[in-house]
């Protein structure tokens, strides 16, 4: 156990800096705000933090459009602030992972400013450039996730450039060896500062098909979104050629070779492909990424069968690698609204946290999950997300999950002394940290109890997983490690349920997890609303 890498079975708390805590009164969260609240984060019982981008950026996509990947944007603070954050996190026993956006840059990055000037400068081929068709149209049918063609005309060169996201986020040409070397140099900068790992944004988007072949059309019945709305034209294609190319595998091995020079580093790749589970398995074997996660549990699909089938499918494919699961993040509707069916409660919030933290793998949890926050309903005039502004009203974008953390019952819920960059909804203010801390029955205290308890359950953190075939809405599985077996069962509904469950041996209920607990009597499993059962099998 002592030789187990820290990231196996770790709970990684995602911090969205803009919305965590503002310390300088400009309405936007910052690195000193994270430093000020690290005591709180450590007290949650998590193992690590993942900090979303805080690098120099014009903020067209709120930090995922990076102009200088080796500097802190003044909006968030300074490099000295980051160093102080790193030191304090480590003093609290927290590992620090930072976001890295490798596949594209901002159009204000120095590399792109040079590349766009001519076809013969030193960085002319550092981005994906292509001539127009004879009729002036883009070179192929590739689409941007954020709407419209993935190609933008550049008059200085008389060519189109590729952007899988916003037009202000041009894609790097990873077929160029100098690009790959420069990207790895940027990672080395942060490794030398002492970070413990990287969350790699859209890591399967690094390479494109060098032949620029058209993506084939997808039948209407197959147009389901994974990280994007199903009515987005992006869903109308099979994305066989604009991402997830075979050349990426060799690059991932080069990336891993760099990581291995720094002991204790972890890489976590965000993967969204036509078969994300297969790509996760492929990207985490043969000395590539340490972990991968996808959008499979970040969708509207919610049932015991869906969760069971998804995890089983990954288990069948991922025979070597290590998974990571998430049910919320900064890109999707908050899980209590997405899966709550109007029944959001502290009990459901704690149960969903326990469920995802009991699956085999590591876990990313998003700030505010511990408070039981629901999705904020914002009017059009309050939106800041270009994705939501483009697709309103059918898709409202990502602002609803990015509203500020509520810390107190004061003005703007204690997030800022100024007007916040996004409004704090009243229902979030009522769930503030200060109020929940003094309420033993709050979602926050339930979260803390479960996380502390989980740390002492090696089978849950590191064991194998075997699902039991149970009827809806019961999800049940066994976690096994070194001959020890733990039965885990959840009632994913707001009504009491009973079902037959035949297991060999006897069960000893495990206490201390703090959840609404069920019982198993003579093969009859009884679970209260949003109830759970953890029992040692002997």
Q: pLDDT band at 477, cuts 50/70/90?
A: very high
What is the CATH architecture assignment of 11-103+177-382+440-454? Alpha-Beta Barrel (3.20)
Is position 201 annotated as part of the catalytic site?
Answer: yes
Tell whether the model's pLDDT for residue 404 goes beyond 60: yes
- Interval 441-467 mean pLDDT: 97
Q: What is the C-alpha separation between 462 and 405, in angstroms, rounded? A: 31
The backbone region for 19, taken as left when phi is positive above 0, alpha when psi lies in -120 to 50, beta otherwise, is alpha
- Residue in this structure with the two tokens 């490099």, named with its chain if needed: 79
- The per-residue pLDDT for 382 is 96
- Distance from C-alpha of 91 to C-alpha of 87, rounded to nearest angstrom: 6
Pick the CATH number of 463-537 from 3.30.1490.20, 3.40.50.1820, 3.30.300.30, 2.60.40.1180: 2.60.40.1180
pLDDT at position 520 over 90? no
Which of 531, 536, 347 lies closest to 447 in space, CA to CA? 347
Confidence of residue 348 (pLDDT cuts 50, 70, 90): very high
Rounded to 5 degrees, φ, ψ at 484 are -95, 135
Burial 257-287 (b: 16+ CB within 10 A, else e): eebeeeeebbbbbbbbbbebbbbbbbbbeee
Provide the mean pLDDT of the chain: 96
The owner of tokens 């969205």 is: 16
The predicted model gives 421-427 an average pLDDT of: 97
Percent of the chain with pLDDT over 70: 99
Q: Cα dihedral sign for 63, 7, 294, 242?
A: positive
What is the structure's pLDDT at 2? 66
160 sits in which H/E element: strand 159-162
* Helix, strand and coil percent figures for the chain, each rounded to 5: 30, 20, 50
User: How close are the terminal C-alpha atoms of the chain, in Å?
Assistant: 22
Q: How far, in Å, CA of 185 to CA of 188, rounded?
A: 5
Asked whether 301 and 315 are in contact (CB, 8 A), the reply is no
Asked if the model's pLDDT at residue 230 lies above 70, the reply is no
350: closest CA among 208, 207, 534, 182? 534
**What is the residue extent of each domain of the chain?**
11-103+177-382+440-454, 383-430, 463-537
Model confidence at 227: pLDDT above 60: no
Q: 329 is written with which tokens?
A: 């993040």
Q: Angle at CA 428, nearest 5°, toward 355 and 348?
A: 20
Which one of the listed residues 154, 270, 333, 385 is annotated catalytic?
270
Whole-number pLDDT of residue 342:
83
Residue 247 known to be catalytic? no
Give the three-state DSSP class for 449.
helix
d(CA 130, CA 124): 12
Q: What digits encode the pLDDT tens for the residues 194-216?
A: 999 999 999 999 999 999 999 99
What's the pLDDT tens digit per position in 269-313?
A: 999 999 999 999 999 999 999 999 999 999 999 999 999 999 999
Q: What is the pTM of this model?
A: 0.97
* 453 C-beta neighbours (distance < 10 Å), count: 19
Q: Which residues pair with 291 in a beta bridge?
A: 268, 322
Sheet order of strands, 159-162 included: 129-130, 159-162, 151-154
Residue tagged active-site, from 201, 296, 331, 369: 201
Which residues, 6 or more positions from 187, have their beta carbon under 8 angstroms from its beta carbon? 100, 198, 255, 258
Given a cut of 70, is residue 456 above it in pLDDT? Answer: yes
Contact assessment for residue 82 and residue 193, using Cβ atoms and an 8 Å cutoff: yes
């Amino acid at each position: 156990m002592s030789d187990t890498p820290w990231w196996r079975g770790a709970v990684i708390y995602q911090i969205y800096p803009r919305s965590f805590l503002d310390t300088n009164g400009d309405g936007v969260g910052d690195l000193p705000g994270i430093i000020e609240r690290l005591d709180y984060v450590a007290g949650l019982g998590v193992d690590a933090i993942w900090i979303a981008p805080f690098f120099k950026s014009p903020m067209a996509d709120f930090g995922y459009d990076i102009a200088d990947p080796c500097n802190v944007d003044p909006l968030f603070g300074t490099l000295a602030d980051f160093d102080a954050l790193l030191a304090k996190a480590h003093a609290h026993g927290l590992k620090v992972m930072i976001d890295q956006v490798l596949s594209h840059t901002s159009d204000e990055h120095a590399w792109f400013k040079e590349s766009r000037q001519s076809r013969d400068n030193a960085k002319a081929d550092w981005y994906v450039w292509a001539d127009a068709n004879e009729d002036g149209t883009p070179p192929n049918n590739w689409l941007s996730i954020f709407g419209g063609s993935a190609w933008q005309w550049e008059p200085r060169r008389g060519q189109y450039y590729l952007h899988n996201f916003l037009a202000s986020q041009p894609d790097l040409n990873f077929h160029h060896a100098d690009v790959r070397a420069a990207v790895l140099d940027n990672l080395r900068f942060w490794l030398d500062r002492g970070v413990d790992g990287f969350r790699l944004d859209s890591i399967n988007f690094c390479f494109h098909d060098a032949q620029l072949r058209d993506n084939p059309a997808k039948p209407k019945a197959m147009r389901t979104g994974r990280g994007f709305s199903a009515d987005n034209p992006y869903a109308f294609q099979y994305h066989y050629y604009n991402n997830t190319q075979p050349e990426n595998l060799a690059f991932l091995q080069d990336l891993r070779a760099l990581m291995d020079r720094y002991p204790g580093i972890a890489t976590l790749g965000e993967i969204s492909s036509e078969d994300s589970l297969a790509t996760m398995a492929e990207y985490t074997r043969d000395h590539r990424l340490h972990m991968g996660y996808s959008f499979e549990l970040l969708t509207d699909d919610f049932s015991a069968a869906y969760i069971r089938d998804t995890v089983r499918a990954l288990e069948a494919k991922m025979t070597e690698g290590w998974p990571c699961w998430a049910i919320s993040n900064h890109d999707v509707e908050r899980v209590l609204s997405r899966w709550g069916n109007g029944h959001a409660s502290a009990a459901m919030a704690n149960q969903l946290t326990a469920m995802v933290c009991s699956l085999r793998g590591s876990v990313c949890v998003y700030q505010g999950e511990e408070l039981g926050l629901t999705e904020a309903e914002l009017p059009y005039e309050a939106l800041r997300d270009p994705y939501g502004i483009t697709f309103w009203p059918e898709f409202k974008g990502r602002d609803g999950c990015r509203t500020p953390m509520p810390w107190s019952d004061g003005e703007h819920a204690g997030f800022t002394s100024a007007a916040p960059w996004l409004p704090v909804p009243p229902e979030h203010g009522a769930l503030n940290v200060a109020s929940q801390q003094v309420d033993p029955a709050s979602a926050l205290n339930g979260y803390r109890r479960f996380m502390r308890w989980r740390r002492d359950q090696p089978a849950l953190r590191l064991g194998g997983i075997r699902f039991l075939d149970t009827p809806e809405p019961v999800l049940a599985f066994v976690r096994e490690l070194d001959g020890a077996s733990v039965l885990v069962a959840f009632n994913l509904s707001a009504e009491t349920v009973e079902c037959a469950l035949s297991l060999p041996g006897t069960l000893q209920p495990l206490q201390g997890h703090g959840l609404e607990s069920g019982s198993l009597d003579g093969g009859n499993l009884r679970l209260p609303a949003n109830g759970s059962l953890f029992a040692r099998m002997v």
